[in-house]
Copies of this chain bind each other. A is one copy, B any other.
Amino acid sequence: MAVTFELIRQCSHTGARAGRLYTPHGVFDTPIFMPVGTQATVKTMSPRELEEMGAGIILSNTYHLFLRPGHDLVAEAGGLHRFMNWNRGILTDSGGFQVFSLGALRKITEEGVTFRSHIDGSKQFLSPEKATEVQMALGSDIIMAFDECVPYPAEHDYAKQSTERTTRWAERCLKAHTRKDQALFGIVQGGMYKDLRAQSARELVGLDFPGYAIGGLSVGEPKPLMYEVLEHTVPLLPKNKARYLMGVGTPDCLIEGVHRGIDMFDCVFPTRVARNGTVMTWQGKLVVKNAEYARDFRPIDTECGCYTCRNFSRAYLRHLFKAEEVLALRLATIHNLYFLLDFMRRMRQAIIEDRFLSFRDDFWHMYEKR
């Protein structure tokens, strides 16, 4: 079964849209947030907990699984779904972003990227063909083309060469990809340059991918600039295909992304800050390990329906964080993920009922007030 996207409702005032993503592992409503499970596990969570909070599709990392435990081992286990006992959707990134982030430890050529493993320092190689082969072995529902993420800031010359290579690599990925039960998405690059974003979008749309990601954003640029690039780029993508903004997941960026027509997001933000004791509420964020919550016997958020808020107090969470107990990480992670997934569901409902603009107004009113 192929992966397809259905556009359900287009907001009449903004780019926001409600859709549905069909995959071999379930049908998911969009806009959607994908929790990140870097090493074949969403940190501190069990698959059952993810299911219960309504997670439909998670992201896992080719770079990490390639190095450990190895894609051959995962394939031997029956694929990533079976290995980690997750029967809903999985999207894997290509490893491109991770290897480029290695800085001095990697060398890029037209053929691919040679790099040193962060685990044992061993010499490794990823290319469009290899990244595609690895992702086919993992068996994820959506796989990503092997791209180069243009850093910020970058000279126009460098950005142009890099973006054009990403297109050439995208073609090689398409050629290498033979599994019919998974979709290969292209990644639009181009840095912060409108002409390059346009060129990248045009070239990739020409290759007719089943879905498109926008990469190279949220890499250090100011948020207004990211929004500008989004506004310019999204309209260049086909309406009938899913659009995925990579690595973005704070509430403000999620709502502004949806506003501009994005359907899919992923980010380590909710899980990472949870492990540091920061939780999100409808009244703004809250550092639950702070002393002020020592005798606060209310839940994190009285409006929230997650396991944590239904059963535990801020005081108990604070105690667990101070005592360095694993349950602290778990309960905060459950809440933050539930909060973001619920946020996406609310946005979708607002789009369906054609009141997204006022939903966004309310959000910003609350968000600025904090």
A residues lining the B interface (CB < 8 Å): 39-41, 43-48, 64, 68-69, 73, 76-78, 83-85, 294-295, 297, 307, 311-313, 315-316, 318-320, 322-323, 325-327, 329-331
Contact = CB atoms under 8 A, between A and B. Distances in A.
Contact of A73 (B64, B83, B315, B323): B315
A317 to B, nearest CB: 11
21 contacts: A39-B319, A40-B316, A40-B320, A43-B326, A44-B330, A46-B327, A46-B330, A47-B311, A68-B322, A68-B323, A69-B294, A73-B295, A76-B295, A76-B297, A83-B313, A83-B315, A83-B319, A85-B311, A326-B326, A326-B330, A330-B330
Closest 4 CB pairs of A and B: A44-B326, A39-B323, A69-B319, A85-B311
- Scoring A41, A78, A322 by chain B CB atoms within 10 A of each residue's CB, the highest score goes to A41
Contacts of A311: 47, 85
Given A311-B85, A315-B73, A41 B327 contact: yes
A190 to B, nearest CB: 34
Contacts of A83: 313, 315-316, 319
**Total identical chains:** 2
A229 B46 CA distance: 44
Contacts of A307: 46, 48
B315 A39 contact: no
A327 B294 contact: no
B77 A41 contact: no
A307 B345 CA distance: 29
A43 B325 contact: yes
B39 A325 contact: yes
A327 B45 contact: yes
A147 to B, nearest CB: 25
Nearest to A331: B46
A320 B77 contact: no
A323 B41 CA distance: 10
A327 B69 contact: no
Given A39-B319, A68-B319, 9 more contacts: A39-B323, A39-B325, A40-B323, A41-B320, A64-B323, A68-B322, A68-B323, A83-B319, A330-B330
B76 A319 contact: no
B327 A329 contact: no
A69 B329 contact: no
Nearest to A39: B323
Contacts of A84: 316
A222 to B, nearest CB: 34
A297 B77 contact: yes
B85 A312 contact: yes
A322 B83 CA distance: 15
A273 B46 CA distance: 20
A312 B41 CA distance: 12
A25 B325 CA distance: 25
Contacts of A43: 325-327
Given A311-B85, A316-B77, A320-B41, A329 B326 contact: yes
A85 to B, nearest CB: 5
A126 to B, nearest CB: 19
Contacts of A39: 319-320, 323, 325
A96 to B, nearest CB: 21
A77 B327 contact: no
Given A316-B84, A329-B326, A73 B294 contact: yes
